[in-house]
Every structure is written in C-alpha cells, then in structure tokens.
Amino acid sequence: MPKQKAYYIIDFDSTFTQVEALDELARISLKNHPDKESIFQKIEDYTNFAMEGKLSFSESLAQRVKLLEANEDHLKLLIKHLKKKVSTSFSRNAEFFKKHADEVLIVSGGFKEFITPVVSQYHIKKENIYANTFVTTGDGKIIDYDHANPLSEEGGKVKLLQHLKLEGELFGIGDGYSDFQLRESGMINKFFAFTENIARESIVSRADHVTPSFDEFLYVNDLPRAISYPKNRILCLVIGEVDPLSIAILKNDGLSIRHKTSFEEKYVKDVGMILFADGEKMDKEQLKNAAKLKTIGYLGNAKNKIDLDLCTKQGIVVFDDPKNNPRNIDFIPKRVAEFMNSGATYLSSNFPNLQLPKIDKSHRLIHIHKNVPGIMAKINTVFAKHDINIVSQFLMTNQEIGYAITDINTQYDKQLFKSLKKIEHTIKFRVLY
C-alpha cells in the first residue's frame, strides 16, 4: 500500500519565530508613546488570553490591531527584526523546508505582510502561506484587517483546513490553542506542542507529543534533519552548587538539565554529560557503568576527584580548570556544549586537542578508539565498502587513544554504523549531526 502524503501545518508566532510579531510591532510603533508600557501589557494580555483559549481569537485580534497605531514603515522594521528571530531549530533545518516545499504550510492568525518575507527565505511557497491581511489607508497607516478572512475568526484554522480539503497525513506544530483546535476538531492526525520558545501548560497537557525543538519533531517522524539526535534528549546532570550562569548556558543550548545536590545512582546508565561543581566526586564504579556518558565539565581541578585515565579509556572527554580561574563559570560549560555540538576537544584535560570547522551539507561521525596501528585504514575500508564519499577527516592521538572525526556528504544506512562500531579496539562511536 503506497504511503500517504504528509503535510506539515506550522504556526508562525512563538513557533517559526521566537516572538509574537504583533507584540514586537507594538514595541516599534509605540516606541515614543507616553503610555507605551501599559499599552504593551494590554497587547500581551490579549495575545495570551487567546493563546490559552480564554478569549476568542477574533476579539483578541481586533483589540490588538486597534492599539497598534502602526504603519508600513513600522512593518519594514518589524520584518528586519523577525528575520533575526527565527527559532534556532527551524533555521538550522532550512534544508528540510527546501526538500518539502510542497508539503509545508504556514497557517497563522498573524499577517501575511510580515510572515511572507520571513518564511520565504526558507523556500516556503507563497501559495502555502495562510494568514490575515491588514487594511491600510493611502498613506500606509494600518487601520484594520480583512474581517472576511476565516483566520481572523474564532476557530479560523479549523475553517481554513475544512476548506483546503487536504488528503493525507496531517501534522500540526504550534504553541497555542488555535493549533490544538485542529487536533480537537479531527482536522489533523497529530498535534505537536512546540515549546522551544514558550510552554503553555493548558496546551502541553493536551498535545499528542511535546516537541522542545523542531529537531525533536523531525527525529520522532524519522525525517531528514540537521542534527542526528535532538539535544533535548541528552540528559545533562548538574551536580552541586553551580552558578546559575553555567546552567543557563547549557539550558540555552537545548539540553535536558537535571540539577542535583549529589550524583544519584538512578541516572548513571542514562546520563550523557555532567557538569560538576568544584569539590564534587565521581567514583570508578559509576564511571564504568555510565555507558552513555560523553563528556564531563568540572568547575575546578578534577584531579583526585575523577579518574581521568578511566575517563580516557571509556571515551569520556573531560574539561576542567586546574587553576580555579573564575572564568570557568562560563568557560567550562561552553567547552562541553561545543564538544557536543562540533566534536571539538580543544583544551580538554584527557583527550587530544582538536578544533574543528563545521562542514556544511555533511554528516559528522566521531570514532574514539585505542591508539593501535591500522585503525584508520579499517575505518576507511568500511567507508569504501559502503560507497561513502569522505569530505574531510581529522585524526589526533595521544598515548592511549585515537580520536577520529569524519565528515561525509552521502546519505548513509544504519549498517554503516554497525560496521564502524564493530571495528576492533573501538571505544565509542556516534553521529554528531
């Protein structure tokens, strides 16, 4: 039986972009207004009431447009601003939108005047953008919107999809009540609550799946993506009294954070990375059992607190600060995050130091192995057998281990990974992106 065609119905405000565009337009248009703060608050309140289902969308929209006092010059400034505010996980997956241009629909209660210039950069077709339109005077002042557009009404997204009569499997991605209504009405197969920018509990609790990033959505649905494994699925433990700035760096990188006073046994098998406060310890048994652990950041001198030789043998990259420099508050978290993102081991305590440029349109594979002769030949034999074209390759060694990074530009199959993992003396293998 042929696979059903899939359509991706994506919201704009607080989903495709990090912000609510009308709120941002108000900040531009009312910049010099004496009562701007109270008006901003009213506009934000109307936005949230509608997103949470506490006020009809049409009433919320009418009230917000009235308060804007905006014109076409303000719109130009808004568009420039929004182009810089595209959600990180959407911008890094631009290739997906290019490949699926026919199946991606932007459906928004926002306005085409600012949505189209922003999403068109991502190869989303103009005919697939469904949104409201402003009514302006001859001199460009925004005075109203087209009330005949179904998207200006309560339940507008449902009415639009009823009209479009799309046939296939429909996925909805959004942060608000109007997005959930598509699922509630049966117009879409699955609703993904997008929480990269905002998590509304009333929506999250009713979603088919919570997606903290677009990477997660693509991963769950086995679709082409910029990174192989969503960062929100990597468990990052923060142990002890760690400065909030250090934690914020990792949280902003999209990692799933658990902040604990001590290293609890239940996390040993699943933890992917750890940030330790100075003075904290990790015993050998825990290290041996931490099969998924890739990197440790230590905010101080890790000597005698963590067995660095065992970390090396286990393929765990350690970053610490032997001189207890105050800069480690942000320096160490940035190093462990950079290792997770690019594979860079620069300034690590136990691994060969490797700084790497990111290669566009490629997949990066990391192979950590015992430093014995002939391993690179075996790795490259595997690539040759699978007809893989190597774009670039890096190898650094120390007495204990070899650290090889290979960028390939071909679609790969899972058998390739199995073959690389089976190479004798392999310690760890993973796909970075």
CB 103 within 8 A of CB 6: yes
Which residue's entry shows tokens 């990974």?
417
Element (H, E) at 423: none
**What confidence score (pLDDT) does residue 50 get?**
83
Distance of alpha carbon 69 from alpha carbon 410, whole angstroms: 52
Correct CATH for 6-221 of 3.30.70.100, 2.70.70.10, 3.40.50.1000, 3.40.50.720? 3.40.50.1000
Domains of the chain, by residue range, sit at 6-221, 234-342, 363-432
Q: Which CATH class is domain 234-342?
A: alpha beta
CB 134 within 8 A of CB 144: yes
Whole-structure pTM value: 0.77
CB 106 within 8 A of CB 228: no
Distance of alpha carbon 244 from alpha carbon 233, whole angstroms: 21
Instruction: Tell how far CA 137 is from the center of its chain.
Output: 40
Beta partners for residue 301, in sequence order: none
Distances 387 to 313, 378, 381, 384, 411 between C-alpha atoms, Å: 31, 14, 10, 5, 10
Backbone angles phi and psi of 248, in degrees to 5: -60, -35
Handedness of CA 104, 108, 112, 115 (dihedral sign): negative
The residues near 384 (Cβ < 8 Å, ≥ 6 apart) are: none
Distances 38 to 26, 49, 252 between C-alpha atoms, Å: 11, 16, 30
Q: What is the mean pLDDT of each run of 10 residues along the chain (433 residues)?
A: 84 97 93 90 88 84 87 96 96 93 96 97 97 92 92 93 95 94 95 94 94 94 85 92 92 88 90 94 93 95 94 94 78 93 91 83 89 94 91 90 89 84 94 83
Distance of alpha carbon 344 from alpha carbon 334, whole angstroms: 11
Distance of alpha carbon 104 from alpha carbon 111, whole angstroms: 18
Distance of alpha carbon 300 from alpha carbon 269, whole angstroms: 25
DSSP per-residue codes, 292-355: T--EEEESS--TTTS-HHHHHHHT-EEE--TT--TTHHHHHHHHHHHHHHH---TT-SSS----
Correct CATH for 363-432 of 3.40.630.30, 3.90.1510.10, 3.90.330.10, 3.30.70.260? 3.30.70.260
**What confidence score (pLDDT) does residue 433 get?**
80
**Taking Cα atoms as reference points, which of 348, 339, 354 lies closest to residue 392?**
354
The number of beta carbons lying within 10 Å of the beta carbon of residue 381 is 12
Distance of alpha carbon 145 from alpha carbon 63, whole angstroms: 11
Axis crossing angle, helix 112-119 with helix 72-83, rounded to the nearest 10:
30
The number of beta carbons lying within 10 Å of the beta carbon of residue 45 is 15
Q: Do domains 6-221 and 234-342 have the same CATH topology?
A: yes
**What confidence score (pLDDT) does residue 1 get?**
53
